[in-house]
Structure 1
Amino acid sequence: MFPNNYINEIRNLGISLGGDESVRVFGYANEIRENIEFVAVRKIDLQKVIEQLEDAEEERKRIIIQADGVSESLLEKNFHDLKGFFEEKRKADDRIVELKRKLSDLMAQKADIDAKFEELSPSKGMTKVYRDVHTILDRICRAFKSAREKNLRNFLDKLSEHANSYLERLNPADFHGTVNIIERANGQAKISLVSSNGDHIYDPNGALKTTMYMSILFAISDLTTLTREEDYPLIFDAPTSSFGEIKEDEFYNIIAGIKKQCIIVTKDLLEKDTLTGDCRINQGKLENLKCSVYRIEKEKPFDPLDLSTVCIKISKIKD
């Protein structure tokens, strides 16, 4: 009636699933529950990240709208440049701390060597001569270094003073800030504009930036004349291209008061003839000038496709 012996097989299977195997099988339930809880927590984290990304996207759109006329690629480039700048600054700050520590150690070593050298106290012979020579040369080096630093600081202060005088004259009744010139660690000079509260103006408008560099140029010209009694011409190429009409007049007034040769290449004196469409001299601006005026123009006709046919004509407009 019962040809198969399944009862024994079931009993053997029950024995095989007992003990350690039973513990391992029951452990699957805990592992599955832990995995489900882990996935649930990750889903919550994922939702938070998605919300942060949506907020960041809204912020990106807002910045692009506010930065009128600036492309997204340029904003991204500026961001990466700024990020790189801060990273380089961090590395430079760390490097400065390390170098200051090394300098302190070297100065301590030098002081120790100088003290041991002084303890020798030779009374005669070449050793005394060498010591005296060393002492004299050391004092001379210190004096030269001190004089160099003092002279450089005095020069930069005087250059800033002259430059700020010109900057104020080039920007009457307008904001102009103060020219600040400092020496960098590599020996180069850094020029910047600073407001009265000490904040640096990193991105001045075109006209203010141009007048800042012009002020430096005028100041250098003044100091060169005073210190070396040498003079050289000032050459400007379209210096007032970013100016308004009032600022143009101030620039030319300053030029008129400079007692040296100035050469200015500009289109300020030209205006368009409404009848012919050609460029002509603005007689009103011409009459206000007290200097010689020459007009440089291309002779007509010429072949617009052949550069060799273009000739330059120079005409004296005013003595």
Structure 2
Amino acid sequence: MIIQKIEICNFRSYYKSNTFELANGLNLIIGSNGDGKTTFYEALEWLFRTDGTNKMDSKYISKKRMEELFANESDDVRVSMTYEHKGTIKTLEKMFHFTKSFDGEVSPSNYSYTLTELSGVERTVKDGIRFDYDLPSEIRKYTMFKGESDLDVFQNSNALKMLVETFSDVKDFEAYFAFMEYATKKADQARDNAQKLDKKNTDKIKQLKYTIERESSTLSDIEREIKNKENEAVNFDGLLKSIEQSKEASKLLINVNRRIETLSQKRFQTQARIDENYTINLLDNMWILMGFGDIAEEYSAKVNEIDLKRRKLEQDYLLTAGADKVLKKMQAMKTDFVPLPVHIPGQKIMQEMLDEEVCKICGRRAEKHSEAWEYMLHRLEEYKESLKADEDEEIEPYYKNNYIVELQKRDTTLNDNLAEITKMRRKIQDAIAFNNRLHDEVKKIDANLNLEFEQKKRILAQTDGLTEEQLLANYENISNWVEQKNKAENRIATLKHQRSQHRATLDEAQEDLSKLAEGTSAAIYAKTALIIRQISEAFKTAKETNKKRLLHAIEDESNVFLEKLNTNDFKGTIRILEKVNGQGEAVLINNDNTRIFNPNTALRTTYLMSVLFAIGKLSSEKDKTEFPLLFDAPTSSFTDAKESEFFNVISTLNKQVIIVTKSFLKESANGEVVLDQNKVDEISGRVFRIEKKKPFDDKKLGTIQTVISKIK
């Protein structure tokens, strides 16, 4: 079958009549998003539907055509395909009428589906469902594919069975199987009826029949359990494959989550070590005095200066007071210098110097009872004495208050603590530096956390819609699924062994029963039943051989196409596997005979398309005709270079291929999407460009119209 022309009229964005004149070979229909690529594919899907569903649907009607109709005006939605099949030109056409009412409603009517054959000048119009004779529905499943995810024909659980029935002679055996089962049953009944007359072997016959019934029942139970276990194994295998496809992502996600947890704990611990209670420490730990050193020195100098003046004035006052008692007192006080106040050094410091036998003012030793030590003792006693009230004092003191003395005492106290205050500066600096280092560490942890969270986003964005919970749950369940799969497979092996044993017992009982029939009227029936069973087993063996031959043929042809389509790159070897439940699967095998899980998307697309080409070739060999292949965006994951190479290889194949794609487009300097003519020129085949007619209103669907340009 070669498609020559496709016409689309008033089908969604295809306003009025639009025609594609196709070539026998590669046909590219290039369009950007929203230009009508998917609509083209869906128009053909609607045309090819022969089951009588979706006949007339208002969603198919061109919005633009609908809006421009006047009241009571009509038009048609029509999709037709002209093709050549086995030397005859035919046109398949599906259409319906639509009319706009006075209130603006549109109603469809007059549906028709026809297949017109042209033979010379004669035209024969038939029902469109006869298209199934030219392109059977079971074949169409292997000719139309929407997107890369749709390329795996074996994702349908019945795909292998349909392939075997369609492209091999296995289905021819089914009628024989039914007949053999019927004939065996009748032969057994005839034998049993004849053996009822054999009184001599009644007990043996009864025992053998019991054995046959028991073994047949057991075999039936075993077959049923085998089927259940095979389904279990397939289900767990499917779960494991879904994990296999995302196992790497699951591992990465688990490792990322572990790193996030470790970093989060480290951040919490580091943050907890930061102590920035500076406001509290200013008062509670006297940090406010950190800058007091310079102030204390200035304060001390001023206090000493004013104290010196105080003592000088007081001395002059006492010297001029004239009291004998005072004169006596002054004689004791008179020196060539102004003496220190009795409270300097303080009582505690003076006592400390006496205990340690050292003068901490001059730094010299003052052994006990030495002149220096006695002097310090005298000074201490003098200070203690000054604290006592002098009852005999008759002269009014020069200073009635002791403010300056209090200031001097405060100065002494501050100077005693000045060393600790100086140390406090270093302590505060160390605390702030320590906190700053912790802050820097937290920033680094936050930066690493951000990197891990970004990695986590990338992992989840590339897992085909699986959530984080699903990935983690799948990974956690893998050991359980492996165990369950192994249990099912081990049980299947055990059951098959038991089946062979019970079959042997059953065959032996049937053979013994046939031997008992020898020489009697039942002999012919027993022999007939035995021969029929042998023929039935031969048919089963032939059916299995036929199926394996077909799978090997698909494998061989697939690898031939893979060699052509995937040049200068790793490709592996295609194998068509049959699962325990009879489902098929196309996989890639490495040279060490291990399966290649999760091949890159471009390689996956290439090897699955190779399988499709192989099936197409086998179909053409069987029916002596070629069937076209139609793909909607099959190479979206390809690089530009890979895509050009891929299309060029397809153009060399002796097969009609129609590919709807947004490849070979680029953005111009002014931001418009235009055709990359240089790349198009490198392609051998027919090329069409579809695009939205300009201008259009991006808020109004009724302004959208797909226009077609034939490029080459």
TM-score using structure 2 length: 0.34
> For residues 101 and 271 of structure 1, what CA distance do their matches in structure 2 show?
63
Residues 63 and 242 (structure 1), Cα distance of their counterparts in 2 relative to 1, 3 Å cut: farther
Two-structure CA RMSD over aligned residues (Å): 2.7
CA drift of 1:62 comes to 4.9
Matched, 1:215 2:610: yes
Letter in 2 for 1:76: L
Residues 260 and 58 (structure 1), Cα distance of their counterparts in 2 relative to 1, 3 Å cut: closer
Letter in 1 for 2:652: G
> For residues 100 and 191 of structure 1, what CA distance do their matches in structure 2 show?
26
Greater Cα offset, 134-143 or 305-314: 305-314
> For residues 225 and 153 of structure 1, what CA distance do their matches in structure 2 show?
20
The alignment partner of 1:70 has SS state of helix
Matched, 1:246 2:645: no
Equivalent positions of 1:142-157 (< 5 A) are: 142-157=537-552
What is residue 299 of structure 1 aligned with on the other side? 693
Question: In 2, are the aligned partners of 1:169 and 1:250 still within 8 Å (CA)?
Answer: no
The alignment partner of 1:100 has SS state of helix
Residues 159 and 302 (structure 1), Cα distance of their counterparts in 2 relative to 1, 3 Å cut: same
What is residue 133 of structure 1 aligned with on the other side? 528
CA deviation string 1:257-310 (max 9, x = no partner) = 2222211101112111112x1121111122222322112222233333333432
CA drift of 1:63 comes to 10
Among the aligned pairs, what percent are the same residue?
38
Rg comparison, structure with higher value:
2
Q: Please point out which of 493, 496, 505 is paired with 1:100.
A: 496
Q: Please point out which of 564, 587, 605 is paired with 1:192.
A: 587
What is residue 662 of structure 2 aligned with on the other side? 267
Give the ranges of 4+ consecutive aligned residues of structure 1 lying more than 6 Å apart after TM superposition: none
Residues 59 and 234 (structure 1), Cα distance of their counterparts in 2 relative to 1, 3 Å cut: closer
> For residues 67 and 170 of structure 1, what CA distance do their matches in structure 2 show?
35
Matched, 1:117 2:513: yes
Equivalent positions of 1:42-81 (< 5 A) are: 60-62=257-259, 69-71=458-460, 72-73=468-469, 75-80=471-476
Question: In 2, are the aligned partners of 1:177 and 1:196 still within 8 Å (CA)?
Answer: yes
User: Which structure would you say has the larger RCO, counting Cα contacts within 8 Å and 6 or more residues apart?
Assistant: 2
> For residues 635 and 693 of structure 2, what CA distance do their matches in structure 1 show?
26
> For residues 210 and 58 of structure 1, what CA distance do their matches in structure 2 show?
30
Question: In 2, are the aligned partners of 1:162 and 1:219 still within 8 Å (CA)?
Answer: yes
> For residues 679 and 616 of structure 2, what CA distance do their matches in structure 1 show?
27
Q: Please point out which of 226, 231, 242 is paired with 2:626.
A: 231
The alignment partner of 1:132 has SS state of helix
> For residues 77 and 282 of structure 1, what CA distance do their matches in structure 2 show?
46
Residues 204 and 62 (structure 1), Cα distance of their counterparts in 2 relative to 1, 3 Å cut: farther
What is residue 566 of structure 2 aligned with on the other side? 171
CA deviation string 1:116-138 (max 9, x = no partner) = 2231243464x333223323322
> For residues 138 and 172 of structure 1, what CA distance do their matches in structure 2 show?
51
> For residues 301 and 214 of structure 1, what CA distance do their matches in structure 2 show?
38
Letter in 2 for 1:100: K
Greater Cα offset, 68-77 or 236-245: 68-77
Residues 201 and 247 (structure 1), Cα distance of their counterparts in 2 relative to 1, 3 Å cut: same
Residues 303 and 137 (structure 1), Cα distance of their counterparts in 2 relative to 1, 3 Å cut: farther
Letter in 2 for 1:167: L
The alignment partner of 1:69 has SS state of helix
The alignment partner of 1:246 has SS state of helix
Q: Please point out which of 74, 81, 85 is paired with 2:481.
A: 85
CA drift of 1:241 comes to 1.2
CA drift of 1:165 comes to 1.9
The alignment partner of 1:180 has SS state of strand
CA drift of 1:178 comes to 1.1
Unpaired runs of at least 5, structure 2: 1-253, 262-451, 461-467
CA drift of 1:59 comes to 8.4
> For residues 497 and 486 of structure 2, what CA distance do their matches in structure 1 show?
17
What is residue 158 of structure 1 aligned with on the other side? 553
Question: In 1, are the aligned partners of 2:588 and 2:595 still within 8 Å (CA)?
Answer: yes
Residues 274 and 102 (structure 1), Cα distance of their counterparts in 2 relative to 1, 3 Å cut: same
CA drift of 1:209 comes to 1.0
Q: Please point out which of 674, 679, 687 is paired with 1:280.
A: 674
CA deviation string 1:159-215 (max 9, x = no partner) = 111111222222222211111112112212122111111221111111111111011
Question: In 1, are the aligned partners of 2:565 and 2:650 still within 8 Å (CA)?
Answer: no
> For residues 711 and 612 of structure 2, what CA distance do their matches in structure 1 show?
28
CA drift of 1:219 comes to 1.0
> For residues 260 and 514 of structure 2, what CA distance do their matches in structure 1 show?
67
Question: In 2, are the aligned partners of 1:170 and 1:247 still within 8 Å (CA)?
Answer: no
Residues 160 and 62 (structure 1), Cα distance of their counterparts in 2 relative to 1, 3 Å cut: farther
> For residues 192 and 264 of structure 1, what CA distance do their matches in structure 2 show?
24
What is residue 313 of structure 1 aligned with on the other side? 707
Unpaired runs of at least 5, structure 1: 1-56
What is residue 172 of structure 2 aligned with on the other side? none
Question: In 2, are the aligned partners of 1:177 and 1:194 still within 8 Å (CA)?
Answer: yes
Greater Cα offset, 293-302 or 149-158: 293-302
> For residues 87 and 63 of structure 1, what CA distance do their matches in structure 2 show?
31
Letter in 1 for 2:458: G
> For residues 700 and 474 of structure 2, what CA distance do their matches in structure 1 show?
42
Letter in 2 for 1:82: I
Question: In 1, are the aligned partners of 2:514 and 2:527 still within 8 Å (CA)?
Answer: no
